[in-house]
Amino acid sequence: MDVQVDVSSRVPIYRQVCDQIRLAIALGKLEPNDRLPSVRELSRQIVVNPNTVARVYTELEREGVLNTRPGLGVFVAETRSDLTRKARREKLTEQLNIFLSGAVHLGLTQDEVRRAFEEQMKKFQWKG
């Protein structure tokens, strides 16, 4: 678990950390039942207030990504999805549009984006 925080970014710290933990899990760098660093440990490591880290863990627990075992620590949860198929497709399209409109705005070509997409996709842990 190496987490990088950019304090000068406009993205809130707790969001940066959330994103990185989600990413690590999606990439398979963290697997179900792996233990994460303790709140105090991680807060020392990335030089951030313990409350901020606690907030990250709380938030990811509510999302079902992590779960905490009182007195033991915080662990990666088993994956599950309560969402309907339709809701999931909608969320996907929504996220996709945000991503693609950013890509267009960067002035990249369709092929560049497709290549990057295919390349990155290999690195993730897919379901099927």
Interface residues toward DNA, by CB under 7 A: 10, 12-15, 36, 38-41, 48-52, 54-55, 57-58, 61, 68-74
3-state secondary structure of 73: strand
Using CA atoms, how far apart are residues 73 and 55, in angstroms rounded to an integer?
14
Please choose which of DNA, its own copies, none residue 3 contacts, taking the beta carbon within 5 to 8 angstroms, the exact cut-off set by kind: none
Q: How far is the CB of 117 from DNA (least distance, A)?
A: 28
User: Which does residue 54 bind out of its own copies, DNA, none, counting CB within 5 to 8 angstroms by kind?
Assistant: DNA
Closest by CA to 22, choosing from 85, 66, 84, 82, is 66
21 vs 57, which CB is nearer to DNA?
A: 57
CB 50, CB 39: distance < 8 Å:
yes
25 binds, among its own copies, DNA, none (CB under 5 to 8 A by kind): its own copies
Q: How far is the CB of 60 from DNA (least distance, A)?
A: 10
C-alpha span between 123 and 28 (Å, rounded): 9
